[in-house]
């Protein structure tokens, strides 16, 4: 049997179309199968993820709250040197890059009138509790996304506990410890 050039070309095109269509179908089947196996896999991940969360619960990150009893104001004063470039702590102290911190515990968030707070902190609302201050000092940007306090945070819970105590004592009426 002899085919002309055009017959061969037409045949080749048909073959090509069939291969494309066929592989598309096979591809669909494969993708479908993939989706199924992916779902099964995801469930496994969720389960082991839950396990990881559970083990994280067994070893919770240290909270400054638990360390307040063993913290000292002396240590707090030393740690506060990291803050003093931007904040005054003494009574009647001026606002610097950050607002003055005399009496900040129990004060409204963003509560110094005349200080140009970020919109984020101004809008947050509430009063400075020990828990919130702990969270803020650990990571200002996590506690108040958009804050203009460009301080990375105090990673050590013992440092935060000491500063919390120090902030509390620099106050007209130190609020009760939690």
- Nearer of residues 4 and 173 to ligand HEC, judged by Cβ: 173
Contact between residue 74 and residue 167 where contact means Cβ atoms under 8 Å apart: no
Structure tokens at 18: 């069939």
Residue among 104 and 135 whose Cβ is closer to ligand HEC = 104
The least distance separating ligand HEC from the CB of residue 42, rounded to whole angstroms, comes to 39
Q: What is the DSSP letter of 107?
A: S
Closer Cβ to ligand HEC, 8 or 155, answer by number: 155
Whichever of 50 and 145 has its CB closer to ligand HEC, that residue is 145
Q: Closest distance between ligand HEC and the C-beta of residue 32, in Å?
A: 51
CB atoms within 10 A of CB 153: 16
CB of 69 to ligand HEC, least distance (A): 20
Q: What tokens appear for 21 in the block?
A: 């269509």
Provide the minimum distance between the beta carbon of 174 and ligand HEC in the complex, in angstroms, as a whole number: 15
Judged by beta carbon, residue 117 or residue 130, the one nearer ligand HEC is: 117
Residue ranges in contact with ligand HEC by CB under 6 A: 82-83, 85-87, 97-99, 101, 104, 109-112, 117-118, 120-121, 137, 144, 147-151, 154, 163
Nearest to 153 by CA among 141, 168, 145: 141
C-beta separation of 37 from 43 below 8 A:
no
Instruction: Record the tokens describing residue 113, joined without a space.
Output: 């009138």
Shortest Å distance, C-beta 36 to ligand HEC: 49
Q: What is the DSSP string of 53-78?
A: HHHHHHSPPP-HHHHGGG--HHHHHH
Query: Which structure tokens are listed for 124?
Result: 């947050």
What are the tokens at 159?
């440092």
């Amino acid at each position: 049997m002899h085919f002309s050039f055009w017959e061969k070309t037409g045949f080749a095109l048909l073959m090509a179309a069939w291969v494309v269509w066929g592989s598309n179908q096979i591809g669909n089947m494969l993708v479908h199968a993939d989706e199924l196996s992916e779902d099964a896999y995801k469930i496994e991940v969720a389960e082991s993820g839950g396990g990881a969360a559970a083990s994280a619960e067994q070893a919770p990150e240290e909270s400054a709250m638990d360390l307040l009893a063993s913290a000292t104001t002396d240590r707090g004063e030393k740690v506060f040197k990291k803050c003093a470039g931007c904040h005054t702590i003494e009574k009647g102290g001026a606002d610097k890059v950050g607002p003055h911190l005399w009496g900040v515990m129990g004060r409204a968030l963003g509560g110094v009138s005349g200080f140009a707070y970020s919109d984020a902190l101004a809008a947050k609302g509430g009063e400075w509790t020990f828990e919130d201050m702990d969270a803020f000092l650990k990571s200002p940007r996590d506690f108040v996304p958009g804050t203009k306090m460009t301080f990375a945070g105090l990673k050590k819970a013992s440092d935060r506990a000491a500063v919390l105590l120090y902030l509390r004592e620099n106050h007209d009426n130190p609020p009760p410890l939690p």
